[in-house]
């Protein structure tokens, strides 16, 4: 009874400790809401332009709780309480929910989901660019079941295309843009079964260089999958794990170069210095592979050898926007997911904030008139934050009370399962003296697992630009690819564009519809 009283007293005391001065005035909230109302009323005039450009930002594992926590972190990095901050994605006018399940999985993986939002077809977990008729890891079941992506459709329509990721460029999300594979882990032939090799399936790095030979921009990690087995890495000469992996002896960087027209300028770079000294105006094709595997976490990034996600996006948009027919760009904040799997929430949230910077960068370089931008996630994580924390509480901080059951403090951030589960002397670890704000701190979990799991709830889809209003409710995830195709007049949805101005003027579709309906309306 006494301890319960103390808990409540402490909680109440801290909760009342801080309210920003301007927020005490009712007028502040009324003005703020009225301004939002004005902005919303303007949305009644729909943007039905043709999307010359399409950019999709994919936060791997960026569930809604991650978005909220990253927003607070962004504000706190600017020395504000945090909750009132707006992420760039928060400013997008249209938001929908995406149902992320795979055809055979309630809680999905990144391969099945990437196939959904890039190729427009839901499929089985672990498979890439193939329909659900394919069984995972069964090479022979992929044949004839290939599905193509929005990147492919955009390329066919004469647009420039690009892939930028913080993971390996042959990792699950980016690979659905160009590959067809019964197994997401077939990074190079070294990871494939003898049976799959015998049946003629190709590894994903090989497919990156051979399937669509003229992808203008490819940036991320994954160098080792491009080089023959045991070839020393250019950056980590002493590290065996960074060496080349390929059994077929191919040097896929050479392959990449050999497919580029001689009169075009193609550049392969492996470090940030080289990337940032390139003049994008003179670059036609860019391949940037900055690590042997995934890129480092943004918080641990070596700023001499590795570019940030926003730096890569800036270069990519400069190169791609030279095409008068426009471009398609896939940007993946791919290591939000990895931070969560390790239960290192600080790493995951800094990855999210960096992706938001990249969204800001791309927004400043493109126009709402001709560029559809979508921000979404493939799936969520069992990441949560709560505990009645007071306004402005560090997002990595403690709840304002101890548990009324084991009398120990707890952090606001927790995981449903994962490696942070720790029992010491038969009890939950007391984190009182633990540095829970450290970037490698693993937040506590209810169930021990070496690798925290994905979450199964819907994720958000934020959209702005032409046809963004088509993302407006609770959608199946594969619908996203269809919206991108429709907006850009590529793939199966080109018919509605036939009458639209090829110069990117407004489509007459809705206007015609309105004119047809008006007389009817007046009659009845």
Under the binding rule (CB under 5 A), the answer on residue 125 touching Zn ion is no
Under the binding rule (CB under 5 A), the answer on residue 311 touching Zn ion is no
Q: Is the dihedral of CA 297, 301, 307, 310 positive or negative?
A: positive
Under the binding rule (CB under 5 A), the answer on residue 337 touching Zn ion is yes
Under the binding rule (CB under 5 A), the answer on residue 294 touching Zn ion is no
**CA-to-CA dists, residue 105 to 59, 120, 336, 387, 455, angstroms:** 20, 17, 21, 31, 12
**148-156, 189-197, 302-310, 442-450 -> range binding ligand NAG (CB under 6 A):** 302-310
475 with 458: CB under 8 angstroms?
no
Separation between Cα atoms, residue 489 and residue 491, nearest integer Å: 7
Under the binding rule (CB under 6 A), the answer on residue 520 touching ligand NAG is no
Catalytic residue among 110, 149, 175, 507: 110
Separation between Cα atoms, residue 479 and residue 374, nearest integer Å: 12
Instruction: Write the binding mask 454 to 483 for ligand NAG: x where contact by CB under 6 A, - elsewhere.
Output: ------------------------------
DSSP summary character for residue 291:
S
Choosing from 304, 423, 520, 523, the residue that interacts with ligand NAG (CB under 6 A) is 304
| CB of 314 or CB of 337, closer to Zn ion | 337
411 with 424: CB under 8 angstroms?
no
* Binding at 305: pick from Zn ion, ligand NAG, none (beta carbon under 5-8 Å per type): ligand NAG
Active site residue 110: yes
Question: If you write DSSP's letter for every residue of 68-119 in order, what string do you get?
Answer: HHHHHHHHHHTTS-STT---TGGG-SEEEEEE--BTTBSS--HHHHHHHHHH
Under the binding rule (CB under 6 A), the answer on residue 26 touching ligand NAG is no
Separation between Cα atoms, residue 328 and residue 65, nearest integer Å: 28
Under the binding rule (CB under 6 A), the answer on residue 300 touching ligand NAG is no
* Binding at 337: pick from Zn ion, ligand NAG, none (beta carbon under 5-8 Å per type): Zn ion
Under the binding rule (CB under 5 A), the answer on residue 189 touching Zn ion is no
- Helix (H) or strand (E) holding 410, with range, is strand 409-411
Q: Is the dihedral of CA 425, 429, 430, 434 positive or negative?
A: positive
226-236 as b/e: b if 16+ CB within 10 A = bbeeebebebe
99 with 477: CB under 8 angstroms?
yes
Shortest spacing between CB 87 and ligand NAG, in angstroms = 22
What are 391's two structure tokens?
Answer: 């306004």
CA 111 to chain centre: 13
| CB of 36 or CB of 303, closer to ligand NAG | 303
373 with 359: CB under 8 angstroms?
yes
**49-57, 267-275, 365-373, 413-421 -> range binding ligand NAG (CB under 6 A):** 267-275
Under the binding rule (CB under 6 A), the answer on residue 238 touching ligand NAG is no
Under the binding rule (CB under 6 A), the answer on residue 273 touching ligand NAG is yes
* Binding at 273: pick from ligand NAG, Zn ion, none (beta carbon under 5-8 Å per type): ligand NAG
Shortest spacing between CB 452 and Zn ion, in angstroms = 9
Under the binding rule (CB under 6 A), the answer on residue 230 touching ligand NAG is yes
- E-strand ranges in 129-195 read 160-168
CB atoms near residue 365 (< 10 Å): 15
392 with 81: CB under 8 angstroms?
yes
Number of residues located near Zn ion, criterion CB under 5 A: 1
| CB of 351 or CB of 452, closer to ligand NAG | 351
Number of residues located near ligand NAG, criterion CB under 6 A: 10
| CB of 3 or CB of 230, closer to ligand NAG | 230
Site residues (vs Zn ion, CB under 5 A): 337
Binding residues for Mg(2+): 60, 171, 173, 332
Site residues (vs ligand NAG, CB under 6 A): 229-230, 240, 270-271, 273-274, 303-305
Binding residues for Zn(2+): 60, 337, 341, 378-379, 454
- Please give the positions annotated as active site: 110
């Amino acid at each position: 009874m006494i301890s319960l009283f103390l808990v409540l007293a402490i909680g109440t005391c801290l909760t009342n400790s801080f309210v920003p001065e301007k927020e005490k005035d009712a007028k502040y909230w009324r003005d703020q809401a009225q301004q939002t109302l004005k902005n919303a009323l303007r949305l009644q005039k729909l943007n039905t332009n043709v999307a010359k450009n399409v950019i999709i930002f994919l936060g791997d594992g960026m569930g809604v709780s991650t978005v909220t926590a990253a927003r607070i972190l962004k504000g706190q990095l600017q020395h504000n309480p945090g909750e009132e901050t707006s992420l760039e994605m928060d400013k997008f006018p249209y938001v929908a929910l995406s149902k992320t399940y795979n055809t055979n999985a309630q809680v999905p993986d990144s391969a099945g989901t990437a196939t959904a939002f890039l190729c427009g077809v839901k499929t089985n977990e672990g498979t890439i660019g193939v329909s659900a008729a394919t069984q995972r890891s069964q090479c022979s079941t992929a044949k004839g079941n290939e599905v193509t992506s929005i990147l492919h459709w955009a390329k066919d329509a004469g647009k420039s295309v690009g892939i930028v990721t913080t993971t390996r460029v042959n990792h699950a999300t980016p690979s659905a843009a160009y590959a067809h594979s019964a197994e997401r882990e077939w990074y190079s032939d070294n990871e494939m079964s003898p049976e799959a090799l015998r049946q003629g399936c190709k590894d994903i790095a090989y497919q990156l260089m051979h399937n669509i030979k003229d992808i203008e921009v490819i940036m991320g990690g994954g160098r080792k999958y491009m080089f023959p087995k045991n070839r020393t890495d250019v950056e980590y000469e002493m590290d065996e794990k960074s060496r080349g992996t390929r059994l077929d002896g191919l040097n896929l960087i050479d392959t990449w170069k050999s497919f580029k027209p001689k009169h075009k300028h193609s550049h392969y770079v492996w470090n940030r210095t080289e990337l940032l000294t390139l003049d994008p105006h003179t670059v036609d094709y860019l391949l940037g592979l900055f690590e042997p595997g995934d890129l480092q976490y943004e918080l641990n990034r070596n700023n001499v050898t590795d570019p940030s996600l926003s730096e890569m996006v800036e270069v990519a948009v400069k190169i791609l926007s030279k095409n008068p027919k426009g471009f398609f760009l896939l940007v993946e904040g791919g290591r939000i997911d990895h931070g969560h799997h390790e239960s290192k929430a600080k790493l995951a949230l800094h990855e999210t904030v960096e992706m938001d910077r990249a969204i800001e960068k791309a927004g400043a370089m493109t126009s709402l008139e001709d560029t559809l931008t979508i921000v979404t996630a493939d799936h969520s994580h069992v990441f949560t934050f709560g505990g009645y924390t007071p306004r402005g509480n560090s997002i990595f901080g403690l709840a304002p009370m101890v548990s009324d059951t084991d009398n120990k403090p707890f952090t606001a951030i927790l995981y449903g399962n994962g490696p942070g589960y720790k029992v010491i002397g038969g009890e939950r670890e007391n984190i009182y003296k633990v540095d829970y704000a450290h970037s490698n701190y693993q937040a506590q979990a209810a169930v021990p697992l070496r690798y925290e799991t994905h979450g199964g709830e819907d994720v958000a889809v934020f959209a702005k630009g032409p046809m963004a209003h088509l993302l407006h409710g609770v959608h199946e995830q594969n619908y996203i690819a269809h919206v991108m195709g429709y907006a850009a007049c590529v793939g199966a949805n080109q018919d509605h564009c036939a009458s639209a101005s090829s110069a990117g003027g407004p489509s007459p579709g809705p206007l015609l519809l309105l004119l047809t309906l008006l007389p009817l309306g007046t009659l009845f």
